[in-house]
Amino acid sequence: MNQVVRFQETLRRLAMIDEGFVEDRAGLGLGLSLAGTSALHPKIAALLQLGASVAIGAPSVCVEWSTGRALAAGATDEEIADTLLAIAPVSGLGRVVCAAPDVAAALGYDLAAALGDPGDP
């Protein structure tokens, strides 16, 4: 693969969060395969990863990805929302407020529409 195509492929795979590619090339395991190596249930680990992403101010795509991973691990919408509330005192309300639209999008909730109509939850 020539150098130009290679860097383009690298950037494309990073942008789409290609887990296998990142694990192979960067040695960074993104999976939730903590079974056998952790006392944490995979759902709890995924919620912690979401909370950490929000706390560090990760980009929108990473917050949405982390939310999707939490859902895939069995977390409910309520558990995900409660995770944001739980980390607010430590991470700061600003981080949580900034992440709320990204989490809502990952959950399929149209937050912009909900904010436009105060009578509609």
pLDDT digits (tens, 9 = 90+) for 49-75: 999 999 999 999 999 999 999 999 999
Question: Helical H runs in the chain?
Answer: 3-15, 19-26, 42-55, 60-72, 77-91, 93-106, 111-116
Q: Do 61 and 45 touch, CB atoms closer than 8 A?
A: no
Sketch out the chain's domains with CATH numbers.
Answer: 1-30 (no CATH), 32-116 (1.20.1290)
pLDDT of 18 strictly over 70: yes
Query: What pLDDT does residue 10 have?
Result: 81
- The more confident residue out of 36 and 77 is 77
Note the pTM of the prediction, 2 decimals: 0.73
Hunting for tokens 């999008």 — which residue is that? Answer: 105
Query: What pLDDT does residue 36 have?
Result: 47
- Buried b vs exposed e over 68-92: b needs ≥16 C-beta within 10 Å? ebbbebebebebbeebbeebbeebe
- Percent of the chain, pLDDT > 70? 82
What confidence tier does 34 reach under pLDDT thresholds 50, 70, 90? very low
